[in-house]
C-alpha cells in the first residue's frame, strides 16, 4: 500500500475559536499541527504519496505542505465546492489510482498499541471479501468520545450498523482502506462515505480492525487540550 487520501477540507466549525485564524488541520496538538501527526504516521507506514484535499483556508495548507517530500504531496482542490468525505475521495481517484489506499481524516490521532495500526490494517486488507476496511476503536479505550458507538463487529471482523436504540462497542476512528471498487456507480458531487459503506454493509463487505491503543477524538478546543496532555505524558 503506497498511497493515502487525507481529508483536510472541512470547515472546522466545532473547533472554533481555534479555527478562526488557521484551518483545523493546522491546529497544533502537542506542539505539532494535526496534519503533521497524520502525515508523519503515514510516512512511517511506508506511504509514498498522500493526496490532501483543501477548501477552507486552502492557501495556508498548501504553503505548509509545499516543502514536504515524505510522503510526496498532491493537492486535490475543492475550493469551488466542498464535496464531503465521499465526494472528496471520488474527485481524487485519478490521483490515487485503483488502490488500495488509506483514507485518513486529518484530525485522527492516537497512541499505538502493540502493533502500529496502519501496519495492522494493511496486513488485514483482503479485496476478495472487502470493499472497505475500517479502523475501529473500543469505546472503552477512547479519549474525548461520549457517544453510543458507531458499529458492531463480529468475530470474523464483519461490520454492521447498530439497530435502533442499540449501544455498540466500537467507534470509527476516521481511518479506512478502500480501492476504486468501492466508488463504482457512486453519486455525483457532494456525498458522504457513509452512503458507500451502507451499500457495502448490505453485502457484508465492510470489515473492521480493532484499534489496540488509545484513540483520541479531537473535535473541540477542550479535546485538543486533553489529547495534548495525554500525548505529552506518553512521550515522557
String of DSSP letters for 46-113? T--EEEEEE-TTHHHHHHHHTT-TTTEEEEEE-SS---HHHHHHHHHHHHH-SS-EEEEETTEEEE--
C-alpha 39/C-alpha 69 separation (Å) is: 10
Closest CA to 8 of 79, 70, 97: 79
Kindly indicate the confidence band of residue 46, based on its pLDDT and cuts at 50, 70 and 90. Answer: very high
Long-range CB contact pairs, 218-221, < 8 A, 24+:
218/29, 218/34, 218/107, 218/108, 218/109, 218/144, 219/14, 219/15, 219/107, 219/144, 220/14, 220/15, 220/144, 221/15, 221/16, 221/17, 221/18
Query: Cell match 504516521: residue?
Result: 41
Integer Cα distance of 6 and 88 in angstroms:
10
pLDDT level of residue 146 (50, 70, 90 thresholds): confident
Cα 85 to Cα 196: distance, rounded to the nearest angstrom: 11
Map out the domains of the chain with their CATH numbers. 3-235 (3.90.550.10)
Q: What is the pLDDT of residues 22-35, one digit of tens each?
A: 999 999 999 999 99
Cell numbers linked to 107:
484530525
Q: Which range is least confidently modeled, 51-55, 106-110, 201-205, 207-211?
A: 106-110
At 16, give phi and psi (nearest 5°): -65, 145
The reported pLDDT for the residue numbered 70 is 94
Q: Record the pTM.
A: 0.96
Amino acid at each position: 500500500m503506497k498511497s493515502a487520501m487525507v481529508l483536510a477540507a472541512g470547515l472546522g466549525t466545532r473547533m472554533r475559536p481555534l479555527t478562526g485564524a488557521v484551518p483545523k488541520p493546522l491546529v497544533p496538538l502537542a506542539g505539532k499541527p494535526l496534519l503533521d501527526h497524520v502525515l508523519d504516521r503515514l510516512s512511517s507506514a511506508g506511504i509514498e504519496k498522500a493526496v490532501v484535499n483543501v477548501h477552507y483556508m486552502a492557501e495556508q495548507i498548501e504553503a505548509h505542505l509545499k516543502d514536504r517530500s515524505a510522503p510526496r504531496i498532491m493537492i486535490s482542490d475543492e475550493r469551488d465546492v466542498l464535496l464531503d468525505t465521499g465526494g472528496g475521495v471520488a474527485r481524487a481517484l485519478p490521483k490515487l489510482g485503483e488502490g488500495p489506499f488509506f483514507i485518513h481524516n486529518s484530525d485522527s490521532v492516537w497512541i499505538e498499541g502493540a502493533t502500529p495500526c496502519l501496519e495492522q490494517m494493511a496486513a488485514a486488507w483482503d479485496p476478495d471479501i472487502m470493499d472497505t476496511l475500517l479502523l475501529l476503536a473500543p469505546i472503552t479505550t477512547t479519549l474525548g468520545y461520549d457517544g453510543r458507538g458507531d458499529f458492531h463487529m463480529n468475530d470474523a471482523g464483519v461490520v454492521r450498523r447498530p439497530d435502533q436504540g442499540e449501544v455498540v462497542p466500537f467507534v470509527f476512528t476516521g481511518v479506512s482502506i478502500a480501492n476504486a471498487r468501492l466508488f463504482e456507480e457512486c453519486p455525483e458531487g457532494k456525498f458522504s462515505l457513509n452512503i458507500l459503506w451502507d451499500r457495502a454493509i448490505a453485502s457484508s463487505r465492510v470489515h473492521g480492525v480493532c484499534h489496540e491503543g488509545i484513540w483520541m477524538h479531537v473535535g473541540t478546543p477542550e479535546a485538543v487540550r486533553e489529547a495534548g496532555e495525554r500525548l505529552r505524558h506518553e512521550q515522557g
